[in-house]
Amino acid sequence: MKQTMKQHLPLKPALVLLAGFLYVAPLAAQEFVSARIACGPWIQAAGETEFTVVWKTTTDAVVWVEVAPDDGSHFYACERPKYYESVYGRRPVGDLHTVRITGLAPGTAYRYRLYQQALLLNAGNRRMVFGEAFGNDLLQQRHYTVTTLDAARPECRFSMLNDIHGDDSLFRKLTADVGALNNHFMIFNGDMLSQIESTQQIVDGYLKTAGQRFAPFLPLFAVRGNHEHRGAASYDYMRYFPTATGQPYYTFRHGPAFFIALDCGEDKPDSDIRYYGLALTDRLREEQADWLRKVVASDAFKEAPVKIVILHMPPAWKANHWHGMREIARLFMPILNDAGIDLMLCGHLHRYLFLDKGDANNRFPILVNANRTRLDAVVDPQEIRLSVVDADGKTLHTHRLSRTAKYLAH
């Protein structure tokens, strides 16, 4: 007599199959789950031949990015190279995604498309189920375009914001017309939140708006202020803003300018009771000073016609200044004063301040941008032009820093 397959199955495997069916079956009855973009993308760690795309999805997913030249061809003209998120040889599952794009040409525009595939079921190594992959709608030509940095470019244009402290409505006003500036990148110079208690605060405080306004198209260079050192989710900061060095301090070059981005650390002594014994920013500043000596000794730094420092807290120049600013004056300024720096850009004080050479034991000008203004900059080998603009678009201060006149004109 012919036996059925069911009769041949041993009891244990049959139970496993049944359990698997019961576990997966509810998925069919559920509303289809897809991963969508929750925030971003934003471009990090841009260089002449690479950039990193970061974005957040509405649910856990695996992702990749497809890249095409900006040559007028349809994105579907051919198969485009895929760049996968990769962590130690595996594709990670999560809701924050970081994909490095490499092997690019300087000063070249590239189109890119995000793809994300939701994790529907995670029963461990035995059973993982992913949904359908979703990407930007290419039939509607909805891709992003970003241009790599280029040292050969004759000028460099950027805007800087700082001390927003999670005021998204202010951030919206200050960035309302930023698209008309023909910027090449943006700078966030610290204290964009008051403290980071959850990563959702980063999204709600300014990053979602940045993703809607400019961050998919303009590289973003961010440094921490003292307030980004605080809060339960402050440890996630570097996951949201990865850098080329893997550290919160780094350099980049665009047009005639070499930029040094420094982490200011905390403002009070690390032992202050408000830091709960968790701050080690004295050590961080010492470590940076060692790194900074190597940077200013490098050919890449020396060869750049213009040298600009980005640092949230300015160096102390008065006896009543706090510990962090005093440490910046002690550790960073002797190195920078001997390095031929052309300009330092700071925040922190919540007021505009222009420190000319010598005002703060400085051999280069320091501009402190206020908390409710945006700084716009155009840099060429002869001149740095700076404008400080308020939330109504009114220009409050301008500086023309002539390199040949040693920056005395403004």
List residues near Fe ion by CB under 5 A.
191, 225-226, 348
The distance of closest approach from Cβ of residue 228 to Fe ion in the complex, given in angstroms and rounded to an integer, is 9
Q: 104 or 164: whose CB is closer to Fe ion?
A: 164
DSSP strands (E only) in 23-108 = 37-44, 51-69, 82-84, 94-101
What is the rounded CA–CA span in Å between residue 60 and residue 116? 9
Count CA within 13 A, CB hemisphere, residue 146.
Answer: 31
- Residues 6 or more apart from 148 whose CB is under 8 A from it? 46, 47, 48, 49, 50, 51, 104, 105, 106, 107, 108, 110
The distance of closest approach from Cβ of residue 225 to Fe ion in the complex, given in angstroms and rounded to an integer, is 4
The distance of closest approach from Cβ of residue 71 to Fe ion in the complex, given in angstroms and rounded to an integer, is 44
3-state SS, 229-261, equals: HCCCCHHHHHHHCCCCCCCCCEEEEECCEEEEE
Q: Would the CA dihedral through 332, 336, 337, 343 be positive or negative?
A: negative
Determine contact, residues 342/306, Cβ cutoff 8 Å. Answer: yes
The distance of closest approach from Cβ of residue 267 to Fe ion in the complex, given in angstroms and rounded to an integer, is 6
Q: 109 or 278: whose CB is closer to Fe ion?
A: 278
Q: 38 or 349: whose CB is closer to Fe ion?
A: 349
CA end-to-end span of the chain: 101
- Closest-approach residue to Fe ion (CB): 348
Q: 360 or 401: whose CB is closer to Fe ion?
A: 360
Q: 60 or 266: whose CB is closer to Fe ion?
A: 266
The distance of closest approach from Cβ of residue 190 to Fe ion in the complex, given in angstroms and rounded to an integer, is 6
N residues, the chain = 410
Q: Within 279-376, where are the H helices?
A: 281-297, 299-303, 323-331, 333-337
Q: 118 or 174: whose CB is closer to Fe ion?
A: 174
Name residue 386's beta-bridge partners. Answer: 377, 399
The distance of closest approach from Cβ of residue 227 to Fe ion in the complex, given in angstroms and rounded to an integer, is 6
Q: 208 or 348: whose CB is closer to Fe ion?
A: 348
The distance of closest approach from Cβ of residue 245 to Fe ion in the complex, given in angstroms and rounded to an integer, is 22
